[in-house]
A and B are shown apart, each in its own frame.
Chain A
Amino acid sequence: MIHVRKLKKTYQDIQSGQFTALAGISFDAMPGQIYGLLGPNGAGKTTALRILSTVLKPTEGSAVVNGFNVTQQPEQVRRQIGFVSCNTAIYDRMTSWELVQYFGQLYGMPLDRLHSKMNALFDRFQMNEIRDVLCSKMSTGMKQKVSIVRAMIHNPPVLIFDEATSGLDILVAREVLKTVEQLRDQGKCIVFSSHIMSEVKRLCDRVAIMNRGVILAEGTPAHLAEKHQEDDMEELFYQLISRSEAQLEADKNAAMVTHNLTSPLAN
């Protein structure tokens, strides 16, 4: 369903020159599977998801979503996905009904089919009470519900959740996670990024642990625990990140020593 190969993304940065957000990552996510991207802030999770949703273009490598290439067929890719971000990203001056209808129409859904789908989703997420309420007047939890319905309205085979439970209270977060599980059970391919270990352990069928644009470990949670002899996901995550940071520091020092030795002043 999603095939990512040697995906690389670099930015120009005035402070540090060229900044590498993704250093050639590869992974596959299948239908009926939740694929977790786990990593600290700045690991490259959002960049990878933005490339999958065609908002950004990769510098190198390829990504194929449900058979469509993100660089060559961006419009088709956008029809295959539903994107839910951490900041809810909904229009404050629209009601939940208007917002969902707007996105449904953007996906080219006929109004009668759209309305029956909307009614079903509003019933399922118990949102009928807020259908005529402006989004600005809603709580964060309600907004995230609207955001999820918005992403699901065109029944996409792929759903991307970018830290979707961030900032939500425990009750709403559990509800979101439950929804994600239900979607997986319906056969959807889900990419779920988070830095909350318990969520990932509970939800994900496969996990990629990322740091500084690189995948440090990839596999099922059970496989990772066995491979690294660590059952506690949080501890495993900490060990991998610490090891990666230590390696980077060592590489940096080695490069400095090499530079000093080869410098003309050293002679």
Chain B
Amino acid sequence: MNWPTIKLIFRRELRDQLRDRRTLFTVAILPMLLYPLMGMAMMQVAQFMRESPSRVWIVGEEKLPASPPLIVSGKFNPTFGSAESQLIELISSTAGDGHFESLIKSATSSAGDSSSVEEILRLEMQKRKMDLAIFIPNPIEIPERPDSLIESEANNPQSSPATQVFVLTDSAIDKSRIASERVNRILNQWSKEFSKETLVANEIPTSMIQGVVFTTGDVANKTGKQAAAWSKILPFIIMIWSLTGAFYPAIDLCAGEKERGTFETLLSSPAARSEIAFGKLLTVMTFSMATSFLNLLSMGFTGIFVLTKLGNGMGAGGALPIGIPPLASIGWLLLALIPISALFSAVALAAAAFARSSKEGQYYLVPLLMISMPLMMIPMLPSAELDFGTSLIPVSGLMLLLRSLIEANYTDCLKYAAPVCAINLGCCWLAVRWVIHQFNSETVLFRASERFGIGAWIKHIMRERRSLPSLGSAVLCGVVILVAKFFIGFAVTAPQNFGQFAFQTVIILVATIFIPSVMMALFLTRNPRKSLRLNGCKITMAAAAVLAAIFLNPAFTWLTGFIMHIYPPSGDILMLQEAVSRILGSAPGLWAIILVFALAPAVFEEIAFRGFILSGFQSIQGKWKPILLTSLMFGLAHGIIQQTLITFVIGLVLGLIAIQTKSILPCILFHLTHNSLAVLLSQANRTVVEQSPVLRQYLYSTDGQNYQYATFPAILMTVVGVMLIIWFLQLDTKPSNRSVAYGQVPNLN
């Protein structure tokens, strides 16, 4: 690649985009205008909300004690909350008021039935359009001290019931909730004062009812508090805006150029496709970063201004926990913006390159947003923390790392920076490769507009059937399996015994995995037997597969333990495991468990994954890409994250065996042996192990229930297992006739 050419293309595209009013509006004008306008609107609304008084209806005001006075001159006593008192419009119903009279009558007749009083008040509140109602049915007086308090309590616990006051709100209405907060603050203060006066009147020291005083403190300093608040907001803002900022330039630079006819001119110039791709990628990245930065800046300034105003308005008690973000956080954000923008720009550019027009480009970018959003939302969850597991999730891991950096948790950052960077840079690299592939693909660049009809499509599929499955049918088969497994999960009920469990397991395997792959092989290919890789194999290959499964079992067991350590199973999974263990207890014998857990999955899954799907993925050049993609599908089909990771790794070995032996028979044997050993290990008990001198050498248990491989034999076995895999790698694999069946993928420079 020639850097001056990339720079030249980048500079032209940058200038071109800067002259585009739509792009400029999205990148610069929108953030500069939108946030100040939003801030102004927010302040107006907040002002309106603050100044809107609450309408409080009080019934039985005259029954309140003279001291301490709750109501002064038709308003709540400002001593108990001056701000709240100002914001409450008090509407009083006293003796002589018709409603009050009827209410008292109803309340008296219902003999203290609070539900009937509440119902009457609710209807009255609705009728009078009140936010809150206070009903005092009986006079409130300072009680007199009995001669002997202890004696009185002991003889008649009901002698001095607490004075009842009804406070009724409607929590479904915001105004009523606000009124409740205001009134409660006043009533609590008044109630405390009333209790104090009661004690004073009865000559009891007020210190007697103080009880235990809890003194709370916050060890966080001001900067720490601000960092904690900003660490959740800022990463999300830069992520969402860097994605949005990449959208329009990507569409304009690819789909837009195709539409205007300038793309062909550029392609016929000496610039290589990869140079064009990189020039455009740098432009999209620049706009993505600029959008994110300008939005952050504008939002920050507006936010600080608005929050300061709101904070001042709230007085001393309303100080906001958020201020100007720490300076270091800005630095970290700017640093993180580079990989984030690179990733989103590459993905947006590749999607846009596939589109024939700007309109079509927008259709492709919406799903992109839908996929990215959950990854951005994960770190917003309160329980989300940066650990090894979360660091491996693209985008989410980076957001969590950024959060830790802003919070100055440098120990965690150092620990997980490597996996986060590796995963995200890996994703960046894949996305850039995808862009270059799109720019090299003739079918993508010159896709003609096709009128889609289901009849023509089916005719096309039948007409264009090849002897082996295509890449598209492999992906389709994988997707059908995933969707079928998802929906069948809703249909099955919890099995009660082993018979039901076995029946359900086999039916699910047949319906969701076996039938889709076999049907596709029959209808989408000319040679179903070859497509499903139903070929024979040499006895040495079959034996080597069984031995490889045995010798690699300690390594897979260790891997399982490691993954369980990184991603501890959730409570639901543990409950499920317990339920399965219980059901297995009712199995007629070990053979039945092996039949269900080992043989059935080995046959059905191998036919689908190493048979049809791997054959389809083999239309991609090379050996490892098809294996990797098939293993990914195989892992995803297992649903649970822990199983997905383990089966992905096992899938790599199975894929290699399938390609090297050109048969699924060794794969079935490997799968069967591996699953059988897992069953045997889980069913191993102290009696069996202790009685066998061989097993005692190889297995140990710390709790007498779960057995593990002893370290030294495990290492030895793994070495032998790896040697067997090397033996498979060295098998003679002559190039298949796939290149003839598929033709070469055009590679344009």
Contacts and interface: CB of A to CB of B under 8 A. Distances in A.
Contact of B270 (A90, A94, A98, A108): A108
A91 interface: yes
B270 A56 contact: no
A83 B456 CA distance: 37
B268 A78 contact: yes
B463 A17 contact: yes
A98 to B, nearest CB: 8
Contacts of A107: 269-270
A103 B451 contact: no
Interface in A241-263: none
B748 A87 contact: no
B265 A93 contact: no
B746 interface: yes
Interface residues of B, number: 34
A253 to B, nearest CB: 21
B446 A106 contact: no
B8 A83 contact: no
A79 interface: yes
Interface residues of A, number: 36
B260 A92 contact: yes
Contacts of A211: none
A105 B260 CA distance: 22
Interface in A78-104: 78-79, 81, 83, 85, 87-94, 98, 102-103
Interface in B11-33: 12, 15-16, 19-20
A89 to B, nearest CB: 4
Contact of B261 (A57, A88, A105): A88
B262 A106 contact: no
Nearest to B747: A57
B64 interface: no
Contacts of B463: 17
Contacts of B261: 85, 87-89
Contacts of A56: 442, 446
Nearest to B257: A91
Interface string A45-84: 0000010011111000000000000000011001101010
B450 A14 contact: yes
A56 B448 CA distance: 14
A229 interface: no
A15 interface: yes
Contact of B748 (A12, A57, A134): A57
A102 B460 CA distance: 44
A14 B456 CA distance: 7
Contacts of B20: 93
A17 B460 contact: yes
A98 B11 CA distance: 12
A15 B456 contact: yes
Contact of A102 (B12, B443, B456, B749): B12
A83 B265 contact: yes
B464 interface: yes
B37 interface: no
A25 to B, nearest CB: 19
A89 B748 contact: no
A165 B357 CA distance: 25
Contacts of A17: 460, 463-464
B267 interface: yes
A83 B446 CA distance: 17
A15 B270 CA distance: 35
A106 B464 CA distance: 42
A91 B9 CA distance: 13
Contacts of A103: 269
A15 B12 contact: no
B214 interface: no
Given A94-B16, A107-B270, A89 B265 contact: yes
A89 B8 CA distance: 19
Contact of A83 (B9, B268, B460): B268
Contacts of A88: 261
Interface string B77-94: 000000000000000000
Interface string B258-277: 00111011011111100000
Nearest to B265: A89
A15 B260 CA distance: 26
Given A17-B460, A75-B270, A54 B16 contact: no
Interface in B682-727: none
Nearest to B9: A106
Contacts of B267: 54-55
B490 interface: no
Interface string B449-469: 011100011001001100000
22 contacts: A12-B464, A13-B448, A13-B450, A15-B460, A17-B463, A17-B464, A50-B264, A55-B446, A56-B446, A74-B748, A75-B270, A78-B268, A78-B269, A83-B268, A88-B261, A89-B261, A90-B262, A90-B265, A91-B260, A103-B269, A105-B8, A106-B271
Given A56-B446, A93-B20, 12 more contacts: A13-B448, A14-B450, A14-B457, A17-B463, A54-B748, A55-B267, A78-B268, A83-B264, A85-B264, A93-B16, A106-B269, A106-B271
